[in-house]
Structure 1
Amino acid sequence: MSTLEEHVDVGVPIDRAWDRLHRVENFPSFVEGVRDARTEPNGRAHLDVEAGGRTRELEAEVSDRKERVMEWHTTGAPLLAGTFSLKPIDRTHTRVQARLEYDPDTVRETFGGPKGFAQANAIERVVRSDLEHFKDYLERER
């Protein structure tokens, strides 16, 4: 398994960032490749994802931990897991940290794309870009 961690500082209070992070139906606004997303019963989310010219439906279980940490993991292939951690910087700024655990070969087989280091770089770029889009999404709604 590979692990990727990235963060972005956003100009909104932690409560607003936490609330927006839980609006699964808005994921297409800031997560690259997500075409449709919806909350399902029992802490699940359904995502229609397009990547590498392929479309896949993903089901994920989502749960919250103390200290503003959201955990998630897919319930089928590809096996992915991660967390979003929110930390207050001050009253009007929040750090959003994303952690993703994935098997590069499984991601490549499922969605296509390059092998090895090139794929890791591509995944890093996507996660960084998604965090920047999340920042824009949050700050646009002030």
Structure 2
Amino acid sequence: MGTVKEAVDVEVPLHMAYNQWTQFEEFPNFMEGVDEVRQLDDRHNHWTTSIGGVRREFDTEIVDQLPDDRITWRSVGGDTQQRGSVRFERLDDTHTRVELVMEVEPSGVAEQSADALGLIDRRVKGDLRRFKDYVEGEGGATGGWRGRIRPEDPGTPL
């Protein structure tokens, strides 16, 4: 499983950056290759992606979520194996660092080649830059969910 770690500083307050990230159905607006995200309930999302000509559908489960601090998830079922965590760090009243760590198990020749060439790292870096542009350009978060999800299994989060 390859690990990707990227961070971006955004010029919005901590609560605004966190609130926008909780709007999973907005992800196609700034994530390359993400066609659709449907939020099924507070813990589960269904993703449709098209990356390198390969279309995939998979579900993710949020295993730990603490407002203004972190969201940790893992894929459940399907061919796509990944888990990750996004953390939010207050830099000052109007700036926040968003750090994303993902572990991805590329499946298929195209995805393994993309991983070997560093394309997954570059895609994540680009997604974070686009998130920065998106959240700063909106003038405020398009919504926000501030509930707490606790891990059921303490060994699950990153």
CA deviation after TM superposition for structure 1 residue 65, in Å: 3.5
1:81 aligns with 2:83: yes
User: Given the two structures, how large is their TM-score scaled by the length of structure 1?
Assistant: 0.89
The ranges of structure 1 where at least 4 consecutive aligned residues each deviate by more than 2 angstroms after the TM superposition are 110-113
CA deviation after TM superposition for structure 1 residue 116, in Å: 6.0
How much is the aligned-residue C-alpha RMSD, in angstroms? 1.8
Residues of 1 paired with 2:13 and 2:95: CA distance? Answer: 5
| Contact kept in structure 2, 1:68 and 1:85, CA below 8 Å | yes
Residues of 1 paired with 2:52 and 2:111: CA distance? Answer: 5
Any stretches of 5+ residues in structure 1 without a counterpart? none
CA deviation after TM superposition for structure 1 residue 102, in Å: 1.7
* Structure with higher helix content: 1
Q: Which residue of 2 aligns with 1:4?
A: 4
Judging changes above 3 Å, is the alpha-carbon distance between structure 1 residues 115 and 30 closer, same or farther for their aligned structure 2 residues?
closer
Identity of aligned residues (%): 32
Q: Which residue of 2 aligns with 1:71?
A: 72
| Contact kept in structure 1, 2:18 and 2:67, CA below 8 Å | no
Summarize deviations over 1:71-119 as a string: whole Å, max 9, x none.
011102211000000000000000000001122xxx141754626631x
Judging changes above 3 Å, is the alpha-carbon distance between structure 1 residues 38 and 110 closer, same or farther for their aligned structure 2 residues?
farther
Any stretches of 5+ residues in structure 2 without a counterpart? 140-158
Question: How many residues are matched?
Answer: 137
Choose which of 97, 100, 106 in structure 1 pairs with 2:99: 97
Summarize deviations over 1:48-78 as a string: whole Å, max 9, x none.
1001101111100013047611001110221
Q: Which residue of 1 aligns with 2:108?
A: 109
Q: Which residue of 1 aligns with 2:121?
A: 124
Q: Which residue of 2 aligns with 1:57?
A: 57
User: Given the two structures, how large is their TM-score scaled by the length of structure 2?
Assistant: 0.80
Question: Residue 114 of structure 1 aligns to a residue in which SS?
Answer: helix
